[in-house]
A = this chain, B = another copy of it.
Amino acid sequence: MTILVTMSTSERPRRRGRQAEAARNDLRLLAAAREVFTTQGADAPVSAVAERAGVGIASLYRRYGTKEELLQRLTVLAAEQYSEAARAALAVEDPWEGLCHYVRECVAFGPGSLAPIAGTVRFTEEMAEAGRRSDELAEQVVARAHRAGVLRADATTIDVFLVIEQFSRRPPVPTSEDANARERLVALVLDGLRARADNADFPLPGHAPTAERYDELWNAG
């Protein structure tokens, strides 16, 4: 949201009339696309996006030549928003509070549910770059918490990613209670993530997850 507005105002040197309508539609389209695809999944019909935006289908296709293009744009915006959340987290004085904010914000934003596009959309260089930037910032958030000794030592950055990914998966039919439920569950895992004296007695099972998973997810089918 913040990002969308920021970007557009920066490159809108005062338009009027039809051009103003076009500029407005750009924003409404992007916002609608984010909402539709994150709640209904990436195979939601394009028509739903246009409808949600209060815009004709043609107006959508005038901007994005194809559904894939729109999805690619959305993932880049999502990565940038993750980056923004990480920056905000680093601005929080307390390392633990910062990490909590990061996780909560990413989960609330919830575009991890775009993951279903993994196989269906080509991975552009722009997406890769945005992803790298975002990963780097997240790494800083986690590393700082580790240094401060507030995050359990056997939890890695990728564990944090997995938490966010898992909680970004939304129910197919959203209910009014979902947000509350999600909050409680996230609080639960954050509590589990906190460094404690007895951590060594209950170590995380299995082996630390690797980043290769994501290659497998995006590149192969």
* A positions within 8 Å CB-CB of B: 115-116, 118-119, 155, 159, 162-163, 165-167, 169, 171-173, 175-177, 180-181, 183-185, 187-193, 196, 202, 204-207, 209-210, 212-213, 216-217, 221
Q: Chain A at the B interface: mostly helix, strand, loop or mixed?
A: helix
- Closest-CB distance, A150 to chain B (whole angstroms): 13
A189→B181 CA distance, assembly (Å): 14
Give every chain B residue within 8 A of A162 (Cβ-Cβ). 181, 184-185
A190→B217 CA distance, assembly (Å): 27
Give every chain B residue within 8 A of A206 (Cβ-Cβ). 180, 183-184
Copies of this chain present in the complex amount to 2
Determine which residue in A115, A171, A176, A212 has the highest number of CB atoms from chain B within 10 A of its CB, and name it.
A171
Give every chain B residue within 8 A of A116 (Cβ-Cβ). 172
Determine which residue in A118, A175, A183, A202 has the highest number of CB atoms from chain B within 10 A of its CB, and name it.
A175
**Given A172-B116, A209-B180, A190–B191 Cβ distance below 8 Å?**
no
**CB nearest neighbor in B for A116:** B172
A–B Cβ pairs within 8 angstroms, 21 of them = A116-B172, A119-B172, A159-B185, A162-B181, A163-B185, A165-B171, A166-B167, A171-B217, A176-B216, A177-B212, A177-B216, A180-B207, A181-B209, A184-B205, A184-B206, A185-B189, A187-B202, A188-B192, A189-B189, A190-B192, A191-B202
**CB nearest neighbor in B for A172:** B116
Q: Is the CB of A187 within 8 A of B171?
A: no
- Closest-CB distance, A97 to chain B (whole angstroms): 12
A172→B172 CA distance, assembly (Å): 13
**CB nearest neighbor in B for A218:** B173
A180→B193 CA distance, assembly (Å): 17
